A and B are shown apart, each in its own frame.
Chain A
Amino acid sequence: MTGAAVIRLPQAGAHAAPASQAAQARRPAGSVRFQGLGKTYVSSAGEVQALQGINLDIEPGEIFGIIGRSGAGKSSLLRSINRLERPSEGRVLVDGEDIAGLGEAELIRLRRRIGMIFQHFNLLAAKTVRENVALPLRIAGVPQDEARARVAEVLRLVGLEGKEDTYPSRLSGGQKQRVGIARALVMRPEILLCDEATSALDPETTLSILRLLRDINRRLGLTIVLITHEMSVIREICHRVVVLEHGRIAETGPVWQVFAQPQHAATQALLAPLTRALPEDLSARLRDRAEPGDWQVIELPFTGEAAPDLAVLAQGVRLVQAQVDPIDGHAVGRLVLLAPPELDPASLSPNARRLGHVATND
């Protein structure tokens, strides 16, 4: 890191220290550690390695994203945290405790500390919103008046007051997921697992659910582990991310870093839908060799660090395309510039890259 040139955006403080806020609010619980985790399925086609050699630490209070294409092993990894799936090898430690050896009663106690929400919400159709949300308390034997108060409290938190006596079939997708979130939170867990929680929702609802999750993370300081196949979800709320490919870790790191400098082909493929291509008329005219009078097309990546001084753009350089996103307080994106033939791209920034040459009528 060159340090000095990092562009810090106004929201920088917002996500900066969720873990330390959480630590103040409650004991710092909610860590997950995977050690050499592997999972092998036996199917009719033979053995399938869903996960192998996963070593990963999830810190208390962070929003941790697991992304990968379908079949990459995301779901197995997530479900190993509350032992809905048993790993074939390696260990899962929740708050330092190896969960493989837990008996049935201990496993139930562990699961009460870990909430989970689902892509298809998985609400009980035969129960009202109130009964759905109250079920974990009822099963745990929480006294009725306390249960009532806690259900009201979480329903307020997710913005579903007044829907207590409605059946789930009468709710919209977003409302159903809010019920799911309320049910997951009613036991006051330290970890919330989200299994493609927004994949069945429209973009607007997705955003509102993601905001709710972020809000919950800040207010309650609980750890959120989510899986998704959409990088936009990761960008919206995650602090750190792991990219899985064929059951292995392709790369992992802070979200802004992974977005700024994706190392692995799988990451780049996942990022492709979010990256704007060159304008078509420009890319059609682009050529590798300069002809006399051609201008250069230069790409100036922003990687959250070593961002070039924008003053260089004043020297006869034109802006063709710009996409810069603030991710967790870092600027990530790129500028596409049109520069006169004599300009040295390196004078703009060491990261600047010439994409090609193009004839210009100027």
Chain B
Amino acid sequence: MSPQMIDRLIGAFLDTLLMVSASAGIALLAGIPLAVFLVTSGPGGFFPAPRLNRALGALVNGFRAVPFIVLLVALIPFTRLVTGTTIGVWAAVVPLSISATPFFARIAEVSLREVDPGLVEAAQSIGASRWHIVRHVLLPEALPGIIGGFTITVVSMIGASAMAGAVGAGGLGDVAIRYGYQRFDTTVMVAVIVILVALVSVVQVTGDRAVRRLRAR
């Protein structure tokens, strides 16, 4: 491989890293409140808002039903509105986080629902407000599951980010398509695959280790 290609790979790797971590951060910040809302506003929850709950649930399902590559294109006007451009890393962050947020919210929702209702009852019995219950019971108790779900989200975002080349965002997927596929450069293809596998492994192992540490308490 030429030195230029190595530089190109490093640049693509950093682009992927930036795209994924920025979108993952947004998905985390938006997904957890969304999950908490989905759990607590449902029937029998303690912030009952059944209509809003149903509407948000439908919206989440809608976004999850659309394949990422379609979402990427369909969101172009919105992306331009937010970032002022439709190409580059930041233009990819918009659809990536919009696709990852509902995905992550659903996984976090499952973990939150699995918190023993007895713990919520115990918290009510000590005079906890609804906000205290979210803050001191639901989130900490569901944390291992939420972190496990976040790991899955990040891994699937690494995969999705490869498609971001379609809006000229660069990244490893873009390099693999342009050089590895279209120019038959097998070495580049293999290098990209090795980097992606390593990246996914690091994310997965880190996530698993965090979950194990929390569960071992």
Chain A interface residues toward B at CB < 8 A: 82, 84, 104, 108-109, 111-112, 114-116, 118, 120, 122-127, 135-136, 138-140, 167, 169, 183-184, 187, 193
Q: Which of B119, B124, B217 contacts A111, CB < 8 Å?
A: B124
The reply to whether B118 and A122 contact each other, CB–CB distance below 8 Å, is yes
Given A104-B129, A120-B118, A126-B140, 20 more contacts at CB 8 Å? A84-B124, A108-B129, A109-B127, A111-B127, A116-B125, A118-B118, A118-B121, A120-B116, A122-B116, A123-B122, A124-B119, A124-B141, A125-B141, A126-B143, A126-B217, A127-B140, A135-B123, A139-B126, A139-B129, A193-B125
Chain A neighbourhood of B116, CB < 8 A: 120, 122
Which residue of chain B has its CB nearest to the CB of A82?
A: B125
The reply to whether A111 and B118 contact each other, CB–CB distance below 8 Å, is no
Which residue of chain B has its CB nearest to the CB of A137?
A: B126
Could you tell me the distance between the alpha carbons of A123 and B128 in the complex, rounded to whole angstroms? 14
Q: Which of B119, B136, B143, B214 contacts A139, CB < 8 Å?
A: B136
Q: Determine whether B212 belongs to the interface, using a CB cutoff of 8 Å to chain A.
A: no
Which residue of chain A has its CB nearest to the CB of B217?
A: A167
Chain B neighbourhood of A109, CB < 8 A: 127
* Residues of B121-161 contacting chain A, CB below 8 A: 121-129, 132, 136-137, 140-141, 143
Which residue of chain A has its CB nearest to the CB of B137?
A: A124
Whole-angstrom distance from the CB of B69 to the nearest CB of chain A? 39
Chain B neighbourhood of A125, CB < 8 A: 141, 217
Q: Known: A116-B122, A120-B118, A167-B217. Contact between A187 and B127, CB under 8 A?
A: yes
The reply to whether B122 and A118 contact each other, CB–CB distance below 8 Å, is yes
The reply to whether B121 and A84 contact each other, CB–CB distance below 8 Å, is yes
Could you tell me the distance between the alpha carbons of A115 and B129 in the complex, rounded to whole angstroms? 16
The reply to whether B136 and A115 contact each other, CB–CB distance below 8 Å, is no
The reply to whether B122 and A122 contact each other, CB–CB distance below 8 Å, is yes
Q: Known: A122-B118, A126-B141. Contact between A84 and B126, CB under 8 A?
A: no
Chain B interface residues toward A at CB < 8 A: 116, 118-119, 121-129, 132, 136-137, 140-141, 143, 214, 217
Whole-angstrom distance from the CB of A35 to the nearest CB of chain B? 23
Q: Which of A104, A126, A127, A136 contacts B126, CB < 8 Å?
A: A136
Could you tell me the distance between the alpha carbons of A184 and B141 in the complex, rounded to whole angstroms? 20
Chain A neighbourhood of B123, CB < 8 A: 135
Could you tell me the distance between the alpha carbons of A112 and B75 in the complex, rounded to whole angstroms? 51
Whole-angstrom distance from the CB of A224 to the nearest CB of chain B? 15
The reply to whether A124 and B127 contact each other, CB–CB distance below 8 Å, is no
Could you tell me the distance between the alpha carbons of A126 and B215 in the complex, rounded to whole angstroms? 8
Chain A neighbourhood of B137, CB < 8 A: 124
A-B contact pairs, 21 of them (CB 8 A): A104-B129, A112-B127, A116-B125, A118-B118, A118-B121, A124-B119, A124-B140, A126-B140, A126-B141, A126-B143, A135-B126, A135-B136, A136-B127, A136-B128, A138-B136, A139-B127, A167-B217, A169-B217, A184-B126, A187-B126, A193-B125
Which residue of chain B has its CB nearest to the CB of A132?
A: B122
Chain B neighbourhood of A167, CB < 8 A: 217
The reply to whether A183 and B126 contact each other, CB–CB distance below 8 Å, is yes
The reply to whether B119 and A122 contact each other, CB–CB distance below 8 Å, is yes
The reply to whether B136 and A124 contact each other, CB–CB distance below 8 Å, is yes
The interface centre, meaning the residue of A104, A111, A184 with most chain B CB atoms within 10 A of its CB, is A111
Chain A neighbourhood of B124, CB < 8 A: 84, 111
Could you tell me the distance between the alpha carbons of A111 and B122 in the complex, rounded to whole angstroms? 11
The reply to whether A114 and B118 contact each other, CB–CB distance below 8 Å, is no
Which residue of chain B has its CB nearest to the CB of A166?
A: B217
Chain A neighbourhood of B118, CB < 8 A: 118, 120, 122
Could you tell me the distance between the alpha carbons of A115 and B137 in the complex, rounded to whole angstroms? 18
The reply to whether B125 and A115 contact each other, CB–CB distance below 8 Å, is yes
